[in-house]
Amino acid sequence: MSTLERIEHIKESGGWLDRYQHDSTGCRCRMTFSVYLPPQAAQGPVPAVYWLSGLTCTDDNFRTKAGAQRYAAELGLALVIPDTSPRGDGVPDEPERYDLGQGAGFYVNATQAPWSEHYQMYDYVARELPALVEAELPLIPGLKSISGHSMGGHGALICALKHPGAYRSVSAFAPICHPTVCGWGEGCFGAYLGDDREAWKAYDATELVAAGAEPIPLLIEQGTGDEFLPDQLYPQDLQTACNARGFPLTLRMRDDYDHSYHFVASFIGEHLAYHAAALSKG
């Protein structure tokens, strides 16, 4: 019997945008995620692009604002869109803060109480969810790429850097590139991982590159009008770490674009085409 409960089923661009709930063993709560299956999935399994969203988001922001499904339909790609944190009444939260707790899981495995019981988002997006959707849905096992926005861009980068060979390609929009030194990252890492800043580096793209992560090309899109660029994102730190090692990074600075999904929507087609090309190689 399927462990997935389908709660929405919407036809879009010839394919199906579905929403599921399931009991997560790692996050110990009911989790919601969305999947777009392109028309090609009716004929047989397709490759998948995972999308990790940013602070305050659920699985709904990307699927309603980015316009990605039309491109995914043309390219024959599934989109797998998890939530950004564990959810529910029994899950710790800081309701007065948008940048800690529910909606702000930061894609780490928390080690500190009270967060550690549910906030296991790294294992959820990198292991539990892929195993689940590959077993239950028409996806080609192991054929996947990953992208994301802001906190989710950070998540995409660390998933690819920490799992050599697991993803055919990785890209990110306005990612938090050096979370151990920015306000958002320090707030969450301190709460979820404790005071030992050395432990934080295992979830920091800049630090992972500097520490010798296996090379995989990184594609990053960044707007110059992004209100969070000066204080939170630090792509220049990742670029410095990549330059020092000859690590492959394409950092595309886009004049005037802000941090919003208007920026994501402007370039998501290019990113999905990039992933489709990587996923179609033998």
Ligand X SMILES: N[C@@H](CCC(=O)N[C@@H](CS)C(=O)NCC(=O)O)C(=O)O
DSSP state of 26: T
Q: Assess whether 150 carries a catalytic annotation.
A: yes
Is the CB of 56 or the CB of 236 nearer to ligand X? Answer: 56
For residue 276, the one-letter residue type is A
Kindly report the length of the chain: 282
Is the CB of 228 or the CB of 247 nearer to ligand X? Answer: 228
CB neighbours of residue 40 within 10 Å: 20
Q: Can you tell me the distance from the alpha carbon of 29 to that of 119, in angstroms, rounded to the nearest whole number?
A: 10
Measured between alpha carbons, how far is residue 211 from residues 100, 123, 204, 242 in Å? 27, 21, 10, 11
| Position with the least CB separation from ligand X | 54
Q: Which long-range contacts (CB under 8 A, 24 or more apart) does 123-127 make?
A: 123/26, 124/24, 124/26, 124/27, 124/31, 124/82, 125/50, 125/52, 125/82, 125/155, 125/159, 126/159, 126/162, 126/163, 126/166, 127/26
Q: Which of 150, 204, 237, 271 is catalytic?
A: 150
Q: Assess whether 226 carries a catalytic annotation.
A: yes
CB of 185 to ligand X, least distance (A): 12
Give the one residue of 150, 171, 222, 239 binding ligand X; rule: CB under 6 A: 150
Interface pattern 75-114 for ligand X (x via CB under 6 A): -----------------------x----------------
233 binds ligand X (CB under 6 A): no
- Tokens 């930061």 sit on residue: 106
55 binds ligand X (CB under 6 A): yes
Give the one residue of 61, 147, 169, 180 binding ligand X; rule: CB under 6 A: 61
Residues 6+ apart with CB under 8 A from 243: none
54 binds ligand X (CB under 6 A): yes
Q: Which of 59, 83, 204, 226 is catalytic?
A: 226
Q: Which of residues 234-263 bind ligand X (CB under 6 A)?
A: 259-261
Is the CB of 26 or the CB of 153 nearer to ligand X? Answer: 153
Q: Which residues have a catalytic role annotated?
A: 150, 226, 259
Give the footprint of ligand X on this chain (CB under 6 A).
Answer: 54-57, 61, 65, 98, 149-151, 259-261
